[in-house]
Amino acid sequence: MRISAKALPILLLALLPQACNGSWITTEGQSPFEMQAIPLDTAVRSGNFSVLVNVVWHGGGTIGAEANLKLPPGLTRIDGEAQRRLVLRRDHPEKWRLVLKASQPGQYVIRGTLRIQRPGDGGLYQGQYETRLEVGADEVRGSTVENGSEMTLGGKRYGYGGLWLVLLEPGDPLTNGVDLSPVVLQQEDAICDECPDSVVVPFVVTVGRDGKIRWPRLDPSDRDISPRVLAAAENALRDWRYEPASSHGRAVAYWAVARVMVRSRSR
C-alpha cells in the first residue's frame, strides 16, 4: 500500500494523455475521447433517416482508433459505415453519415464502441456508448449516452470516474458515474511515535465492490507529508471499510477521498 508522495506526479503524468501547447486541460478522471451517433435531422422518409457519427480525441498528437456501431433488430443500414478505422488528431472531429431504415416506428438502441491504441506503450483506451432513438412515422429523435470508458496500461485497467481514475479488477463493470458514492463504515486513526498531533493525511482511493480499499494514493493537493506521517496513515488505512458505490442498483468500484487522522502516541 506504500506510495511515495514524490512519485505521484510522475504516475499521473504517465497515465494521462498529454496536452499539446497546454491547450487541453483536464482532471485525470475525465475521458480524453468521446463518440456520438445522433440524428442528422428529424425527418423520416419512407422509413429512412440519417445519423451523424462524431468521434473526438482531446489528447495530444495523432492516434489511431476504431469505431463500431451495432444496429438492433429492425434497423437496417442503407448507406455509410457501421465500422470505421480512424486517424484522430487533437480536437479535430471525425464525422460521417449513416443512412438507416426502420422496419416500423418504435424505440431502438444503437450500441457503439470506440477503441484507441496508445502509441509507444501498448496502452488501450475503450469507450462504450448507446444511442437511444425514437422513430416515428415522420420524424426521429435521439441522443447518445456514455456507458463508461477505460484505459488499459501496463496490464491494469483504469476507469474514468469524472474526477479521479478508478483501478478496475477483473469482473468490475464500466460505469458512467454512480447513484451513490462510497460511504465509510469503519475507519481508524493512525498512532505514530514522534509525529505531530492532529495531522490529517488525505488519500485518493479506489473502493472495490467488496468495500475494501485498493490503490491508495496521496492527494496531490497535499504532498508535503513527512515519510513517518505518511507511513502511519497508510498503515491505518488498511483497516478502513466502506459501503461500496452503487450504479443502477449494483455495487461498483469507484473512487473516494479518505482523510486519515494521524495522532502522536505521546499526546
Segment 26-80, tens digit of pLDDT: 488 999 999 999 998 888 888 899 999 999 999 888 999 999 999 999 999 999 9
pLDDT in tens, 79-126: 999 999 999 999 999 999 999 999 999 999 999 999 999 887 889 999
Domain tally for the chain?
A: 2
Going by C-alpha positions, the residue among 143, 118, 123 that lies closest to residue 133 is 143
Last residue within a domain, chosen from 121, 153, 185: 153
pLDDT in the model for residue 228:
87
Would 7 be classed as within a structural domain? no
- 113 and 207 fall within a common domain: no
List, for residues 125-149, the tens digit of each pLDDT value.
999 999 999 999 999 999 999 999 9
Cross-strand bridge partners of residue 85:
66
- How many C-beta atoms lie closer than 10 Å to residue 107's C-beta? 11
Among 128, 153, 178, identify where a domain stops: 153
CATH of the domain at 174: 3.30.2420.10
Here the CATH number for the domain that contains residue 41 is 2.60.40.10
Q: Is residue 129 within 8 Å of residue 146, measured between CB atoms? A: yes
CA distances, 11 to each of 60, 169, 191, 220 (Å): 18, 19, 28, 11
Q: Tell me the C-alpha to C-alpha distance, in Å, between residue 236 and each of 61, 169, 222.
A: 42, 23, 18
Rounded to whole angstroms, how far apart are CA atoms 92 and 169?
A: 33
Query: Considering the entire predicted model, what is its pTM?
Result: 0.82
Residue-range definition of the domain harbouring residue 36: 30-153
| Residue 127 to residue 107: CA distance in whole angstroms | 23
